[in-house]
Each structure stands twice: as structure tokens, then as C-alpha cells.
A and B are shown apart, each in its own frame.
Chain A
Amino acid sequence: MNNLGEFALMLAFATALYGVVAYVMAARGNRIDLYLSADKTPPIVWGCVTLASIALWKAFLTDDFSLEYVWAYSNRQQATFYKISSFWGGQKGSLLFWTLLLSSYMAAVYFQNRDKKTVLVPYAMSVMLSITLFFLFLLNFSTNPFERIPLPPEDGRGLNPLLQNYWMVIHPPTLYLGYVGFTVPFAFAMAALITKNLDDGWIRLTRKWTLISWFFLCMGNLFGAQWAYVELGWGGYWGWDPVENAAFMPLLVATAFLHSIMIQEKKDMMKVWNMSLVLLTFVMTIFGTFITRSGLIQSVHSFDEATLGYIFLGFLCVIVAACVTMILKRLPELRSKNELDSFLSRESSFLFNNLVLLGIGFATFWGTIFPILSEAARGVKITVGPPFYNQVNVPIGLALLALIGIGPIIAWRRASWANLKKSFARPTAAGLASAAALFPFVPLQDKSQALTYLAFVLCAFVTATILIEFFKGARARMELHGESFAAGLATLVWRNKRRYGGYIVHIGVVLIFAGIAGSSSYSVELQKRLKPGETLELRGYTFAYKKLSAVEASDVKTRIIAQLDVTRDGRHIWTALPEKEFYKGQNQPVSEVSLYSTWKEDLYVVLADFREDESITVKAHVNPMVSWLWYGQWVIAFGTVICMWPDRLERRRRLERFRQQTAAFAPAQE
């Protein structure tokens, strides 16, 4: 099976190479025979990569330690669950996993567009094949997951216990699906540039793919935050680490892209801009991979094989050069005849939201690469940390939040004073009312708390604008069709999935903003050493330490659990059970955080140390509003699914329009 896997990878490489060459030659020489044979390659590549992946999975499940990779990331006692996820536990397997996802996307696009006679598809296929080819090159010649150990050892090293939790199964695949998915819009954008089909055809063909990738990337980021929060035990969910930034930047650029393509669809404008954004999104995903795998930037979680970084850097340079050349070459065709009408209009609010999103992206990028830049320019490494990102991104983020409120309700083309007054009177009143209502409750002692207060007020303003939109639409349906309010609301959303789905996503974003604002300003923490019977007081809660117990959970795992009773005003609220787990053969304990989460605040307890006399050192946090982030995540997921839901109505409308047009040109025969 290992031989088969290795062979399949080689075959995939050869087929992809042939496919790329044949596609290009077919296009150049206008040769249909070559095209027909080239067009068979994408599914074959996909089949081979799938076969190789199955072979690697099989090696994991059957404890085949003759593979160096399986030996390094699995052992006999490991649960099946983790044997499966060990696949992407390290450099080599994660590259294979990446290739598997990439070729699956490619196959899906291939079968989706098989019967459509669009000129874009073969070109897009050849772009996707070339990118797959790069990864297959790495897998075959640099990081082969099927590398053997001549004398297979009895047992493997096992997956790092820190990775042995269910997030390992959820987070990396989600993030990868997001990362890899942006190859599809990139490929179609490139195809549009090459073939000069520069209308919004490529955008419509890839809108769903862009949304799917955006969805996974967004979920991947938030799952990562949740993993960090519940497992790593430092009490936060986001640390502005280079690797986190690497996943955050493409998300920002993609968000900008998703918004500005609406202007192109509606007004046939901003073509250069959209093209640049989609290419930049893809470049950012490759840049992210480069950061993770190069070790060039000091990060807490990067892979340690530095050589691969330079190959990725080369690949990155090639892609950037290709993007820039193509856009420059097509600049005349990309010029748009229309221009923006007014400063105060929906269009310009989109332009500003784009600038703001890219501003956050650029600040993050600058902070991430600053150590390299400063070393190159001045010979000293200068780093920036979370204070930098917070200082820069918080004000820009607040501007973005305000635009989320303004954008959807400001008039298209040109907003007059009258319709500004009409649409903004109520949301502004809601914002001011919430400002007054919150004032007595929100502490305003420093700059950060003032910004939090501002964030809350803006959240109220944005929520009001969105709810009013829903309410207005539903009431119009009530009056026109005599529907009940709930039915009116449901039909409203169902018949305008893109628009209202988008609003729902915005509500999720507002929840996340509120959660970040609340938790970053009002969190408190305390470290204390306790003997049994002693207590710790934190923000009105009393943590009383009861006892320490040791549990032999299994042959390989011992758990040390501390028990703390948490009371407030004499009332029992929760029993905290923070613990430390010790794995056989591993030289580091794994801490398990004990967490009590409500909509208002989280109680978060970490066992830092224990002694022979059963005294312990604990760290307790009270983190307000963290759960709002996870609520926001689910709201975003729900909204995106609505946006993505196949819209029969939309298709019927388009068909109807088409039929009317043809009918006008073909008078009745009878």
C-alpha cells in the first residue's frame, strides 16, 4: 500500500505536468485533440492524490511504523480519532492534505462546469493544475510522506499531547479548506485575464466558491481562537502571533473582495480593484503558508524545516510577478467607463469599507514582517507585539464597525440630505439611547475603556440599522400580501437570500466586535497559592479550594484534578475542576482549563502547580462576554449558509428575462 501511495503521487505529478503542458499547447496551437486529452487530466490527478491519501491513512490506522511520518506522529495506544487527524499533524502530511483538498476543489469545479461551454474553464483548470503541480513537486522531491525507515521500530513517538484534543480534528481542516478554496477564484480571475473575458462572468462563476472559502477561512480563524482559549490556558483567544496573522490577512482581503464585487456586478466598475483583490487574497494564502513553514519569523507555532520556506518564497515571487504582469497587460481593457457619482452614496461606502479592511490587513502585515524589514534596513531586529496591533487596529476596526451600519442603508448613487435624515434618524437615535443607557454601567477610567464604550454604542447603532431593515421589509410584506409578521420575515429572507443573508452575517460580526470589546477591557485575573480550605476572591466570586485528587485515567494517562467551589453572595454557582494530565513517555504535562461560560462572563480556572502537601497555585480569570464571539460565529455561519443556498428564484428570474428577450426578437409563428 505504501508503494502504491508513493507511486500514485508520482503518477499524479506526471499527469499534472502533462496536463499543464497540453493545455497550454492546445490553447497556443488551437489544437482540439490536445485539448481533449488535456481535459482528462484533472480527475486523474485528483484520483491519484486521493489514492495516496488513503494509503497514508491506512498506514496510520494499521500502525505501520516503517513510514517515518507515521512513526513521528502516531503510536499504538493513540485513539483512532487521533490516528486519523495525525495525518495533518506535521509538515509532510499537512502538505499532502493541502494537495488533497486542492485537487478535490479542482475536481469539483471540473465536474460542475463540465457541460457548460465556457471558454474560461479550461484556462482556469490549467491554472489550478499548475498550482497542484507545485505541491506535487514538493511531495515527490522534497517532503515525501512515504519516506521509509529501513528497520521499522516497534512503536511510534505519538502525536504531541497538546494536539490531542478534538480541535485538532476541527480546526486545521476548516482553515485549510478556506486557504485552499481561494485557488478557485484566483484561477478563474487569471483565466479571465488571459482570455480577455473581463466582464463579470468569472465573478458569477466563482461567487459561490469565494463564499465557501470565505466561510471556511472565517470559521477556521474563530475555531482557532476557541482552541487557544479553551485549551492553551493563558486566558485569551487571540495573541497576534505571526501564524494567526497569516490566517487573518487573507480573510480581510477576501472580505473586501466580497463587498467590492457587488459594485462591479451592479455598476460595471472597479474592475482593476477587484482583480487585484482576488489575486492578493491568493497571494496572502501562499504568504501565510510561507510564514508557517519557513521559520523566518519568530513564531510560537511554526514548522521547523526551514528549507521549504525558500521554495515557497520562490513560488510566491513567481505568483506575484504573474499577477502584476497580467494586470498591467490588461489595464486598458479593465478601465471602466462609469465613475462614482457622489461622496455620500452606497458605492463610496463600499470603497471606504475596502480601504479600511485593507488598512487593517496592511497594519497586520507590516507588524508581522517588521522584524525582517528592520533587520535588513538597520541591522537590528525590532519586533512589535499585541500592543502595536491593538493600538493600530482598534481605531480602524471601529471605523469599519461604523461603516457596517452606514453601508447597507445609505442610498445608491447619491444620498440626498432628505433620505439621509430618513434612513439614519432612527438608528442614530438608537445609538444615542444606548449610549445614555450604558453610561451608568460601563466603567470609563482609561482610554481602552472609553474605546470599549464607543464600540458598544456603535454595535447598538449597527444592530438598529439591520433590525430596522428586516422590520421594514417584513411590514411591507404584511401590508402587501396579508402575511403574518413571522411569515413575512421568513419569505423576505428566503426571496432575497444574498441581501438578508449578508445582514445576518453583519449581526454576527457585531456580536464578535462586542465580545472582543467587552473581554479585552474588563477581564481580570489573579494568581494565588492555596492550601486546602483557603479561598481566593475575584470580582465578587469566591473560589474555595477543597481538595486535590489523582486519577489513573488509562495506562498512558494520569490526571491530577483540583476541586474549587465557586460561590457568589453565599450561593453555590459552580465547581471548578482544573487539571493537569501526564502522558506516558511525554515529558510535558498538558493542562486542562476549567471553564464556566455564561452569556455575561466566563469563569476560567487554571491549575498552575501542585505540591506534596496538596497546596496548589491557581490562576483564575473572569472574562466578560467571551461567549459573544462564539455566538457571533454561529450567526455568521447561519448567514453565510443563507447567502450560499441555491436560489431557484434567482435562476428563474434570469431565465424569465432571457425568454422575454428572445420572444421580443421572434414574433409569433402562428
Chain B
Amino acid sequence: MMSQKKIKFVAGSALIVLAIAYLISTGINNTSKYFVTVDELQARKATYYGEGLKVKGKVVAGSIMRNPNDYLDVSFKIEENKSNLKVLYKGITPDMFADDRDVVVEGVLAKDGVFHANTLLTSCPSKYEPGKEGGAERPGSMPNYGAEKPDFKKTESLPKTEI
């Protein structure tokens, strides 16, 4: 038989556990996002309109365009298994954001099929096996300049500005 004292402790502990379980379940309900690849998204577009989404894909070579008046205004396309998706993003792009890199964008799919991203993450390029803390693939890191050393006199080393 459990003593009364013991019941009290079990009840108290159960209360704490239930409170934590409640926090976790509401947390998941309020903040979770679907994580899909571009082809999965395009296959079931209708169900994803207006939802908070994370989409993974590869940046289509040559698709990165920047607004000449505002460097932070970026548009590009990502693809996966021959499906592609146009993405609009405003903000600093990460160091390793470039053609053919795998990226994950977070945001909302608009009715016109354009994805409005508020977060842009790059996965590591295959050349590197990134170290433990090495992934500077945080939102809001630096843009990429390609392999050349920068030179103020050389225009080729600067990012594209046509949109």
C-alpha cells in the first residue's frame, strides 16, 4: 500500500511532468513546420499554401539575382529532382550561398507559387567535411564572392546586380 505521504509525492511529481508535457505539446503545435524538398512541395502544392514551411533544394546555377539598389533584396531558384521553386529573400545571405549549393529556406508559399523566405540556411559544400562548430551557415552570415581574390578595380569579382 502506498502511504499518504507517498501519494502526495507521486501527485506532485506527476503535476510537474504533466506541466512539462503540456508545454511540449503546445510548443510543437504552435511552432512546428513542415520540412519538404522542392519536388515534394510542387507535387502537393495546394496543401502547403500559407503554411509555415522549410524547403530544401539546390540553388539553380545562374538564378541568383540581386536588386541593384538594394543588395539585401535577393531572388533565386532552387531545384530538386527537376522541380523548381522561385524564392524571394530579404536580408544578408550566408557565406556559402552560391550556385549549386544545397540550401534550406524557411518561409511561406504564396498563391502565385513564389516562396517568400525569411530565413536562408546553406548546407555545407561537399568539399568540406565541416567541423563541429565550423558551419557558419547561420542565417545572416556573409555573401559569397567566388574563388577570386577581391579587387576594387575588378568588376568580375563583385556579385551580380541585375535583377
Binding between chains A and B: yes
- Give bound CA distance, A329 to B8, whole Å: 28
Flag whether A486 is at the interface (Cβ < 8 A). Answer: no
Q: How many chain-A residues does the 8 Å CB contact rule pick out?
A: 87
- For window 210-235 of A, CB contacts with B under 8 Å fall at 224, 227-228, 231-235
Enumerate chain B residues within 8 angstroms of A387, measured Cβ to Cβ.
Answer: 30-31
User: With A356-B16, A382-B34 as given contacts, are A233 and B140 in contact (CB-CB < 8 Å)?
Assistant: yes
CB of A589 within 8 A of CB of B129, answer no
Enumerate chain A residues within 8 angstroms of B50, measured Cβ to Cβ.
Answer: none
Interface of chain A: mostly helix, strand, loop or mixed: mixed
Enumerate chain A residues within 8 angstroms of B132, measured Cβ to Cβ.
Answer: 94, 171-172, 175, 243, 292, 301
CB of B33 within 8 A of CB of A301, answer no
Enumerate chain B residues within 8 angstroms of A83, measured Cβ to Cβ.
Answer: none
Enumerate chain B residues within 8 angstroms of A607, measured Cβ to Cβ.
Answer: 142
CB of B28 within 8 A of CB of A370, answer yes
How does the 8 Å CB contact mask read for B111-145 relative to A, with 1 for contact and 0 for none? 00000000001011011111111111111111111
CB of B135 within 8 A of CB of A580, answer no
Flag whether B70 is at the interface (Cβ < 8 A). Answer: yes
Partner of B9, one of A292, A302, A343, A366: A343
Partner of B30, one of A91, A370, A371, A391: A391
Shortest beta-carbon distance from A13 to chain B in Å = 24
How does the 8 Å CB contact mask read for A359-371 relative to B, with 1 for contact and 0 for none? 1001100110011
- For window 29-87 of B, CB contacts with A under 8 Å fall at 30-36, 54, 56, 70-72
Partner of B134, one of A162, A342, A580, A614: A162
Shortest beta-carbon distance from A294 to chain B in Å = 14
CB of A381 within 8 A of CB of B35, answer yes
User: With A172-B132, A608-B92 as given contacts, are A385 and B31 in contact (CB-CB < 8 Å)?
Assistant: yes
CB of B30 within 8 A of CB of A589, answer no
Flag whether A325 is at the interface (Cβ < 8 A). Answer: no
- Give bound CA distance, A550 to B153, whole Å: 12
Which of B9, B27, B121 gathers most chain A CB within 10 Å? B27
- Give bound CA distance, A387 to B23, whole Å: 12
Flag whether A470 is at the interface (Cβ < 8 A). Answer: no
Flag whether B17 is at the interface (Cβ < 8 A). Answer: yes
User: With A340-B5, A343-B8, A612-B152 as given contacts, are A385 and B137 in contact (CB-CB < 8 Å)?
Assistant: no
Flag whether B1 is at the interface (Cβ < 8 A). Answer: no
CB of A609 within 8 A of CB of B71, answer yes
- Give bound CA distance, A375 to B72, whole Å: 35
CB of A160 within 8 A of CB of B149, answer no
- Give bound CA distance, A352 to B17, whole Å: 10
Enumerate chain B residues within 8 angstroms of A356, measured Cβ to Cβ.
Answer: 16
CB of B32 within 8 A of CB of A383, answer yes
User: With A234-B139, A396-B20 as given contacts, are A391 and B91 in contact (CB-CB < 8 Å)?
Assistant: no
Enumerate chain A residues within 8 angstroms of B8, measured Cβ to Cβ.
Answer: 343
Flag whether B108 is at the interface (Cβ < 8 A). Answer: no
CB of B138 within 8 A of CB of A558, answer no
Shortest beta-carbon distance from B28 to chain A in Å = 6
Enumerate chain A residues within 8 angstroms of B126, measured Cβ to Cβ.
Answer: 304
Enumerate chain A residues within 8 angstroms of B3, measured Cβ to Cβ.
Answer: 339
How does the 8 Å CB contact mask read for B1-29 relative to A, with 1 for contact and 0 for none? 00101101100110011001001101110
- For window 532-569 of A, CB contacts with B under 8 Å fall at 550, 558, 560
Q: How many chain-B residues does the 8 Å CB contact rule pick out?
A: 65
Flag whether A351 is at the interface (Cβ < 8 A). Answer: yes
Enumerate chain A residues within 8 angstroms of B6, measured Cβ to Cβ.
Answer: 339
Flag whether A65 is at the interface (Cβ < 8 A). Answer: no
Instruction: Look across to chain A and name the residue whose beta carbon is closest to the beta carbon of B94.
Output: A234
Flag whether A506 is at the interface (Cβ < 8 A). Answer: no
- Give bound CA distance, A90 to B35, whole Å: 28
Partner of B145, one of A228, A391, A589, A614: A589
CB of B143 within 8 A of CB of A608, answer yes
- Give bound CA distance, A162 to B92, whole Å: 18
Which of B33, B95, B142 gathers most chain A CB within 10 Å? B142
CB of A396 within 8 A of CB of B23, answer yes
Enumerate chain A residues within 8 angstroms of B131, measured Cβ to Cβ.
Answer: 88-90, 160, 163, 168, 172, 301
Shortest beta-carbon distance from B100 to chain A in Å = 12
CB of A384 within 8 A of CB of B16, answer no
Shortest beta-carbon distance from B150 to chain A in Å = 6
Enumerate chain A residues within 8 angstroms of B145, measured Cβ to Cβ.
Answer: 582, 589
User: With A233-B141, A382-B34, A527-B72 as given contacts, are A91 and B129 in contact (CB-CB < 8 Å)?
Assistant: yes
Shortest beta-carbon distance from A578 to chain B in Å = 10
Instruction: Look across to chain A and name the residue whose beta carbon is closest to the beta carbon of B12.
Output: A343
Flag whether A465 is at the interface (Cβ < 8 A). Answer: no
Flag whether A388 is at the interface (Cβ < 8 A). Answer: yes
- Give bound CA distance, A622 to B23, whole Å: 31
CB of A617 within 8 A of CB of B30, answer no
Flag whether A591 is at the interface (Cβ < 8 A). Answer: yes
CB of A90 within 8 A of CB of B140, answer no
Enumerate chain A residues within 8 angstroms of B23, measured Cβ to Cβ.
Answer: 363, 391-392, 395-396
Flag whether A482 is at the interface (Cβ < 8 A). Answer: no
CB of A612 within 8 A of CB of B155, answer yes
- For window 239-282 of A, CB contacts with B under 8 Å fall at 239, 243
Partner of A303, one of B28, B129, B143, B155: B129
Enumerate chain B residues within 8 angstroms of A88, measured Cβ to Cβ.
Answer: 131
Partner of A301, one of B72, B91, B135: B135
**Besides the known contacts A171-B133, A231-B136, A303-B129, 19 further A-B residue pairs in the complex with CB atoms under 8 A apart:** A160-B128, A162-B95, A298-B56, A301-B132, A304-B130, A351-B13, A352-B12, A352-B16, A382-B33, A383-B54, A392-B20, A395-B23, A527-B92, A529-B70, A582-B145, A587-B146, A589-B145, A606-B92, A612-B155
A-B contact pairs, 17 of them (CB 8 A): A162-B130, A162-B135, A232-B138, A234-B138, A301-B133, A301-B134, A339-B5, A340-B5, A343-B8, A348-B12, A356-B16, A366-B24, A388-B30, A527-B92, A587-B144, A608-B72, A608-B92
Name the 5 nearest CB pairs between A and B, nearest first.
A301-B135, A300-B135, A234-B138, A381-B35, A359-B20
